[in-house]
Each structure stands twice: as C-alpha cells, then as structure tokens.
C-alpha cells in the first residue's frame, strides 16, 4: 500500500508531546512512523507512477499550521489544525483526483482507545496541557508500507 504524508516541523516541546501521546495511545503506529498528516491513505501499488507524477508536480510553498483542537471520532483521537488546514486540503486534492468519502479532514492521529469515554477524557487533558501547537510543513514523502515496514520511495521539499 502507498501513502503520501506531510511531515510537521514543530518546536521541541510540541514534537515531544505528540510523540509521547502516540507512543502511549497508538503504539503500533508510533513505532513505525512519527507524527504526520496523511494525504494519501492506502493507495494500491499500481498507482505509484500516477502518485509520483502528482507528487513531483506539487508547487506549493512551505506553510505554517496551528493545531488548536483535539477531537474524538469514535475510538480515535486526532489533533486538527485550523490554520494550515486549507493548504493541507489543497495538497490532498492534487494527490487524490477522486474525492474520498467521508470528506478529507487534515489531522494527526494521536491514539486509538478501548472506549469513547476514555478517548474523550484524554482529549480534554491533552487539549488543556498542550494546545495550541504551531508548526510548519516543508516536506512530503511517498511511502510504501509492507507489513510492519515503511519504505520511503521519494521525498519532495515544498518550494524547491
């Protein structure tokens, strides 16, 4: 399966907080990949040439984002940006010619929980202790996941 991710550049305290949250509440994925915004999720391997072409055509400049809310959706906990969400959505649109259902909502997955109540409790605590977080998107990567390994197929610096 193929993925395209945008890597957030964060201050040390914010990066550490996100990594700790993911390690505690999303440990399987946290061991595989650090905090990121997924722009293409689980595309078939036969889309590699198409994704490479779209990936290499990205002309967007680096941009700032601000995470100012933690949201719960079912059993998952997400950090969602307000500032920068439009830019992430525009990148998603370039890389995904057929819109998804449900619509794309830029986010960093923080964890998966056994119950909605537990996720809601952690959301409140994390929101009070860690928000807002400001960062910058400067780089995208095209990744291939095979089992429990990720291979970077290509990376592109925005504005380069």
What CATH number corresponds to the domain at position 15?
3.90.1140.10
Question: According to the model, what pLDDT value does residue 56 have?
Answer: 84
Question: According to the model, what pLDDT value does residue 101 have?
Answer: 73
pLDDT digits (tens, 9 = 90+) for 68-90: 999 999 899 999 999 999 999 99
Q: What is the pTM of this model?
A: 0.94
CA distances from 40 to 57, 81, 107, 127, 132 (A): 15, 18, 12, 27, 26
Question: According to the model, what pLDDT value does residue 159 have?
Answer: 86
- How many domains does the structure of the chain reveal? 1
39 with 5: CB under 8 angstroms? Answer: yes
| Residue stretches of the chain with pLDDT short of 70 | 160
Domain range for 60 is 2-157
Question: According to the model, what pLDDT value does residue 57 have?
Answer: 87
Nearest Cα to Cα of residue 40 among 82, 86, 6: 6
131 with 14: CB under 8 angstroms? Answer: no
List 137's β-bridge partners, or say none. Answer: 8, 63
Question: According to the model, what pLDDT value does residue 160 have?
Answer: 63
List 157's β-bridge partners, or say none. Answer: 139
């Amino acid at each position: 399966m193929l993925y395209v991710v945008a890597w957030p550049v964060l201050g040390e305290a914010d990066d550490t907080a996100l990594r700790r949250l993911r390690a505690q509440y999303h440990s399987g994925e946290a061991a595989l990949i650090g905090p990121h915004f997924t722009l293409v999720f689980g595309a078939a391997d036969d889309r590699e040439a198409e994704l490479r072409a779209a990936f290499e055509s990205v002309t967007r400049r680096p941009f700032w984002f601000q995470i100012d809310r933690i949201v719960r959706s079912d059993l998952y906990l997400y950090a969602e940006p307000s500032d920068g969400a439009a830019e992430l959505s525009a990148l998603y649109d370039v890389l995904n010619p057929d819109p998804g259902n449900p619509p794309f909502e830029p986010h960093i997955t923080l964890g998966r929980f056994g119950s909605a109540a537990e996720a809601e409790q952690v959301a409140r605590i994390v929101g009070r202790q860690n928000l807002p977080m400001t960062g910058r998107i400067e780089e995208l990567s095209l990744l291939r996941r095979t089992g429990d390994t990720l291979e970077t197929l290509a990376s592109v610096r925005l504005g380069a």
